[in-house]
Structure 1
Amino acid sequence: MPAVRSAGCRRAAPPSDRRPRQWCPHRPGQSLLLSEPRTPARHPCPRPPLLYGAVSHCRRDPSSPRGTGSATFVTPTASARIARVNPSAAPFLRQLDPPVADALVARIRRRIVPKSQFILRTGSAGADVVLILAGRVRIVIDGADGREVVLAILGPGELIGEMAALGGQRRSANAIALDDVEAGYLRAEELRSFLAEYPDAALALIRMLIGRLVEADRDRVDLATQDSVGRVSKRLLALAADHGQQADEGTQIGLTLTQEELASWTGATRETVSRALRLMRQLGWVTTDHRRITIHDADALRRRCGETEWR
């Protein structure tokens, strides 16, 4: 009988129904029927939502009795697998213990931010922090010549605006919704109260800030020592780790990104990035199609940029 692997366990598929199934991590023995791989399914689960799109959590209808409501199961992404190698690379919410994460989510004020709209603006007061619940956010800053420079692309579970909120400063960057984003807002004083009540959350915040500082240092080193092909290779690996989806032909980066945006994130011109991608296509490392990139040879990209892991 074929076995089906799910979140950390292996179970036998029922003889009468061999369609793909995954097993609820919070209710052992209860399965989720998936119509196709990576497609959300509905099933009974008492677990409230903690993070959408990046970790195996379930969302139950709060009006239903415990264990009987319908819930959405989300398959772990590549970032969840990479986070097991480097904990500081995990989104902030995933670094918290479930009761602590529940306490944080219970305090936030939810809001839907439409695609391309500002979530945070440069120069505004740091009165709030924002927890990304769904969707992706582009962190950008305007350069001296007026060009927009991409600092990061963040997804579900990430915390943004914390430095201005905790430091009592003006915001130094813009946060713009790449998709329709579900955001959770928390006032600065509420965040300080939460961190005082839950010291482990403060440690997780420190780990997150250290991880971002280390990544910024690596970017500066890469800018001084790597050529454009090496820097683009590193960005593609990071995008694949955070937003990649496995396909028969390789890893598809499920993020619409223009060459100009990739160039500003890489520290190069659009023409330079275009030449780097053309070389990668000729070598068979990647293919590109309508702003989407598929990685065929991740090992070659790692060797080219000197990375041992995707993050």
Structure 2
Amino acid sequence: MSDVTWPYGTFLQRLGPPVRAALLELGVRRRVPPGQIVIHEGVRESHLVLLEEGLTKVTATLPDGRAALLALRVGGDLVGEMSALNDRPRSASVTTCGPATYRVIQPDRFKMFLKEHPDAALELAAMVSDRLRWSNRRRIDFTSYPVKIRVARVVAELCRTHGRQVRDGVVIDVRLTQPELASICGAAETSIQKALRELRTEGLVDTDYRRITVRDLPRLRRMGELEAGED
């Protein structure tokens, strides 16, 4: 898979070609159907999952039993690194949204890989830092912005990470339910429905069954008070 262009910000994209090739040689490749849980929340296990193809959702169980969507991960992303490095139970589950291919890497092999490739260890630290920054930004959004602006910010970010340019806008290639969007935005589902309705009325987005198309991304970014590169 040396000729693959990995999505920006993923762990494989951060690595140079020789280091990337060395990492891809680790572990056992698996192909799974949609709806497969590849990492189970609360389980004490320490292998890592290196995604090669497909989209996954990272979720955690709330006290009332509902699942909160924490993040989306795509081909090139590494998941499960926290338990691999600190030997603690999984803090979240990772579930495939469609057919997916990934490699299962045992922690001892990954730790040896990091020792042999110090640059990869630095990139791992940078990746974890970026994820923490994203989580912190969501917490700040919850307290600083009304729901409509939170939705604009999240949708603009999804355009960057999962958007596909079409003739009249950007289609977000992630099928999210409104409860999932609500969990990312930290809002009630009814508030999300109202915000999306207002964004549609203003000509910023169109919504179909579990799909969002952004019609005017620059104006959506301005509404979300996002500066260049902030999302």
Deviation by residue 1:75-98 (Cα, 9 ceiling, x = unmatched): x7xx54xxxxxxxxx100110000
- Say which structure is richer in helix: 2
Percent identity over the alignment is: 35
Q: CA deviation at 1:108?
A: 2.2
Question: 2:167 & 2:129 partners in 1: Cα distance?
Answer: 36
Normalised by the length of structure 2, the TM-score is: 0.95
Structure 2: 5+ residue runs without aligned partners?
A: none
Q: State the partner residue of 1:251.
A: 170
Q: CA deviation at 1:253?
A: 0.9
Q: State the partner residue of 1:159.
A: 78
Residue identity in the other structure for 2:190: E
Deviation by residue 1:226-268 (Cα, 9 ceiling, x = unmatched): 1111111111112111211111110011121111111112111
Residue identity in the other structure for 2:29: R
Question: 2:139 & 2:45 partners in 1: Cα distance?
Answer: 27
Superposition pairs of residues 190-269 of structure 1, within 5 angstroms: 190-269=109-188
Contact 1:241 1:310 survives alignment (8 Å):
no
Residue identity in the other structure for 2:153: K
Question: 2:230 & 2:167 partners in 1: Cα distance?
Answer: 20
Is 2:224 aligned against 1:305? yes
* CA RMSD of superposed structures (Å): 1.3
Is 2:20 aligned against 1:101? yes
Residue identity in the other structure for 2:225: G
Task: Give 3-state SS (helix, strand or coil) of 2:25's partner.
Answer: helix
Q: State the partner residue of 1:145.
A: 64
Aligned length: 230
Q: State the partner residue of 1:189.
A: 108
Q: State the partner residue of 1:282.
A: 201
Q: CA deviation at 1:302?
A: 1.3
Normalised by the length of structure 1, the TM-score is: 0.72
Task: Give 3-state SS (helix, strand or coil) of 1:169's partner.
Answer: coil
Q: Which residue of 3, 6, 11 corresponds with 1:92?
A: 11
Q: Which residue of 45, 50, 71 corresponds with 1:126?
A: 45
Residue identity in the other structure for 1:208: M
Deviation by residue 1:81-127 (Cα, 9 ceiling, x = unmatched): xxxxxxxxx10011000000000001121111211110100111232
Q: Name which structure has the greater RCO, CA cutoff 8 Å, separation 6+.
A: 2
Deviation by residue 1:161-206 (Cα, 9 ceiling, x = unmatched): 0001101111010101111110111001111000001000000000
Structure 1: 5+ residue runs without aligned partners?
A: 1-48, 51-56, 59-73, 81-89
Q: CA deviation at 1:310?
A: 6.0
Higher-Rg member (1/2) = 1
Deviation larger for 258-267 or 207-216: 258-267
Task: Give 3-state SS (helix, strand or coil) of 1:252's partner.
Answer: strand
| Displaced runs of 4 or more, over 6 A | none
Contact 1:244 1:254 survives alignment (8 Å):
yes
